[in-house]
Structure 1
Amino acid sequence: MKDDETRAWLALSRIPHLPRRVLHRLILATSSAEEIFQLSAFELTAAKVGAEAQKMLREGVDLRQVEQDFKTVQLQHIKLLPVSSTLYPALLKEINDPPPLLYIRGDLSVLDLPSLAMVGSRRSSQAGGANAFRFARELAGAGFSIVSGMALGVDTQCHRGALAAGGSTVAVLGTGIDIVYPRRNKELFESIVCQGAVISEFPMGTDPHPARFPRRNRIISGMSLGVLVVEAALQSGSLITARCAMEQGREVFAIPGSIHNSGSKGCHQLIKQGAKLVESVSDVMEELKGWCADAPPVLEEKGAQNKVSKDLHERERLLLDIIGYDPVSIDSLQQRTDWPMHDLVALVTALELRGLLDCVAGSYQRTV
């Protein structure tokens, strides 16, 4: 894209009172951003462009802001992709309300890969985080690009799992492309830029706001073949992504959890509504077979017993069996085992440190 055209797109993105659907129509009706600025008042009115936006199109926007944006584009190697571009993600272009303009950092070719969205709770359990990492690693290794929102918790583990497999991942932001949020994911952000892509529909400098994250969820689902909800409570934003997927005709998958875990109730609700219950990576691959025909076979992890370290003591193995997969308090464990409390606490702590137990609201449950 030439510099003048880039500046024109940046100027368009700074015009207030110009709804996404209206800008979408203008883009498809013209051959460039510069041409949109040259449309007559009659043409703009016919396209349902409001008076305020028409005034801005005639008089222009703050050129200092446009130049500042242009310098950021050059400095951070940001690419602008209008919906009319042949490089625009094909599936995303099909949804009811595609972003008129995408800002992208990273490898554009990643957008051509078959993609699977993976989302879940920001406050994920240890088991939820482990599932997110493992499923993402195996699916990325099978040839899928993993799409998520770079939030803390499940999203972060999904991106990390894909990167660990040497695969591709896409982070869809609820901020401007030049804003890293949450800040603690800065290193992850840079890794995704190097091994995948970071995208946003928001103008540069757009700060995080709760209302923007549900809006970006339609992009996460829209550019993907399906959405896998790893772990979600009933009020989780992940359910918004799942609902978007259903409305867009995408596959919806959900990993179940304990009936006593409030963090799994959102997944259980989705399964009741028709989402496919997922226990293994092969459950997802079965629905999406054909999209990665040349991919290497998925190497799933073995069952729970094989995941337990071979050097566990007999008492530790027995304790794992007693605890099971539903939360149980330390007092209940003491009653069941009749072991001294200080010995029991030491064993539980050791198993938790090895990642074999998860503490949920003061109770313990197995993660494998």
Structure 2
Amino acid sequence: MQKSKIHYWLALKLVPRLAIHKKLTLVESYGLTALFSSSVKNNPSLTSANNLTAKQLASFYQPDWQKIDDIISSSDRCRSEIIVFDDPVYPQLLKQIYDPPLVLFVQGNTKLLNQTQLAIVGSRSASINGRETAFEIAQQLVKNGLVVTSGLALGIDAAAHKGALTTCASTIAVVATGLDKIYPARHRDLVATILEKEGAIISEFLPGTSPKPGHFPKRNRIISGLSVGVLVVEAALQSGSLITARCALEQNRDVFSIPSGINNPQAKGCHWLIKQGAKLVEESADIMDELAFIDNFDSQLKPQHKPQLFINKEIDEKRSNKDLFVDELLASVGFEITPVDKVVSRSKLPVEEVLTRLTILELNGLVAAVPGGYLRLHK
């Protein structure tokens, strides 16, 4: 049976422990299908120039095509489309980020992927005021032609999706599971409504994938990567929403934040973002003004930067330098729940630096943000 482009991108996705930007560089250097040809096995330059392990090389010259066929069949069964990196439907803004997913699984309206999106995120244990605010702002934003993107979580995410659903074809939910699973399960009706109203549910995770702590930071980078900006409605200082905000800053996206009462613990993260320079938002017009989309708004994608297919060497080297200091902070996080102040005390680093480094560790799946602090995931 002849292999499709989807087969080859899935084969590349399945190559173990090889960073996405390195996989894309290999495609640029050798060509996608050529990477999986018989000549790869006897190509010494591929091994020496890219430091590939024996297991990684085996994934190139002996792909598990049966497993890939099973993935495609599973995707068909849960009525999702497979959108690969070089597909015209693939979101162009998402290609700008450092580690764009090679493959997206999409249920629903794929036309939304390249429409202009604003992410709304916040606390799972949001206050009633926070949920109402997220609902109302989402409702106003979609009336102005934006698509609201969020993570299908409890609290602010759900309220944002529901506010957007007052208009059809208006919301995207990015999830941290395979599309054959719904998490949290209580959002089964919300998922059905999103699809009925021409929204979309997307994931980079294979069908059958269950929710795991390390998946959520990966999902968050997609939420911000799809969007021209991120609005944080309510967030504690240890909130995963701050990871999305920091991803947005790394991706050169706008960050917006809604202030609240000084005694509201769910406002601490929002206030911290504002102190760091996030745009203070009181109403949707504050966002529309900042994006300069009020007068002649076109709902089609208008990226401020030319999408880049491959990451340049300067960014790659900067990431490598960051990796040099990750391990020393990782030693300060225990396999039991470790509060941030304990990590600060153990590492003797400024709290801002600790939060930034914890974000990097979380994005790499080494720690997980949990109620009360962080949890180490790997030895």
The TM-score with structure 1 as length reference comes to 0.74
Q: Which residue of 2 aligns with 1:73?
A: 75
The two structures, once aligned, show a CA RMSD in angstroms of 2.2
What code does the residue aligned with 1:36 have?
Answer: L
Moved over 6 A (4+): none
In the alignment, residue 70 of structure 1 is paired with which amino acid? Answer: I
Q: Over alpha carbons, which structure has the higher Rg?
A: 1
Counterpart amino acid of residue 83 in structure 2? L
How far 1:207 sits from its partner (Å)?
1.3
Tell me the residue number matched to 2:113: 111
Pair 1:56–1:31, CA change in 2 (3 A): closer
Whole-Å separation in 2 of the counterparts to 1:201 and 1:259: 38
Q: Residue 239 of structure 1 corresponds to which residue in structure 2?
A: 242
The amino acid across from 2:215 in the alignment is R
Distance 2:74 2:193 in 1: 19
What is the distance in 2 between the residues matched to 1:192 and 1:75? 19
**C-alpha distance in 2, partners of 1:291/1:24?**
37
Q: 1:183 to 1:68 in 2, by over 3 A?
A: same
Which of 208, 216, 219 aligns to 2:211? It is: 208
Post-superposition CA distance 1:307-326 (Å, at most 9, x none):
xxxxxxxxxxxxxxxxxxxx
Per-residue CA deviation, residues 33-61 of structure 1 (Å, 9 max, x unaligned), is x4431151425423443321111222232
User: Residue 36 of structure 1 aligns with which residue?
Assistant: 35
2:262 aligned with 1:259: yes
Q: In structure 1, what is the Cα distance between the partners aligned to 2:35 and 2:222?
A: 25
Q: Which residue of 2 aligns with 1:269?
A: 272
Show the counterpart of 1:188: 190
Counterpart CA distance in 1 for 2:53 and 2:110 is 34
Whole-Å Cα distance in 2 between the matches of residues 40 and 264 of structure 1?
54
The aligned runs of 1:125-136 (5 Å cut-off) are: 125-136=127-138
Of 161, 164, 167, the match for 1:165:
167
1:222 paired residue number: 225
Give the deviation of 1:140 after TM superposition.
1.1
Q: Does the CA-based 8 Å contact 1:226-1:252 persist in structure 2?
A: yes
CA distance in 1, matches of 2:102, 2:200: 18
The reply to whether residue 120 of structure 1 matches residue 119 of structure 2 is: no
Task: Give deviations 1:201-251, integer Å, cap 9, x for gaps.
Answer: 222222111111112211111111100001111111101111111121111
Displacement, 1:10? 3.4
Supply the AA of the counterpart residue of 1:231.
E
Check conservation: 2:40, 2:61, Cα contact below 8 A.
Answer: no
State the Cα distance separating 1:292 from its structure 2 match: 7.6
Residue correspondences, number: 293
Asked if 1:26 corresponds to 2:26, the answer is yes
C-alpha distance in 2 between matches for 1:197 and 1:206: 19
CA distances 1:319-367 after superposition (whole Å, capped 9, x unpaired):
xxxxxxxxxxxxxxxxxxxxxxxxxxxxxxxxxxxxxxxxxxxxxxxxx
Change (3 A) 1:120 1:100: same
Unaligned 5+ segments in structure 1 are: 297-368
**Alpha-carbon separation, structure 2, partners of 1:185 and 1:167:** 19
TM value normalised by structure 2? 0.72
Shift of 1:184: 1.0
1:89 alignment counterpart:
91
Distance 1:141 1:295 in 2: 12
SS across alignment from 2:4: helix
Q: Matched residues in 2 for 1:109 and 1:37: separation?
A: 31
Matched with 1:346 is none
**SS of residue in 2 equivalent to 1:7:** helix
Deviations 1:96-117 (A, max 9, x none): 2211222212211101211101
Deviation at 1:275, TM superposition (A): 0.6
Q: Indicate the percent of aligned positions where both proteins have the same amino acid.
A: 43
Distance 2:224 2:10 in 1: 26
- Runs of at least 5 residues in structure 2 that lack an aligned partner in the other structure: 300-379
Alpha-carbon contact 1:232-1:263 (below 8 Å) kept: yes
Q: How far apart are 1:264 and its partner, in Å?
A: 0.7
Indicate the SS of the match to 2:86: coil
Secondary structure of the 2:201 match is: strand
Deviation for aligned residue 1:18:
3.3
Taking a change above 3 Å as real, the CA distance of residues 221 and 75 of structure 1, as seen in their structure-2 partners, is same
Match of 1:56 in 2: 59
**How many Å separate the matches in 1 of 2:139 and 2:173?**
15
The alignment partner of 1:190 has SS state of helix
Q: Kindly state the Cα deviation for residue 153 of structure 1 after the two structures are TM-superposed.
A: 0.7
Judged with a 3 Å threshold, the aligned counterparts in structure 2 of structure 1 residues 208 and 93 are, in CA distance, closer, same or farther, namely: same
| CA–CA separation in structure 2 for the residues paired with 1:37 and 1:280 | 52
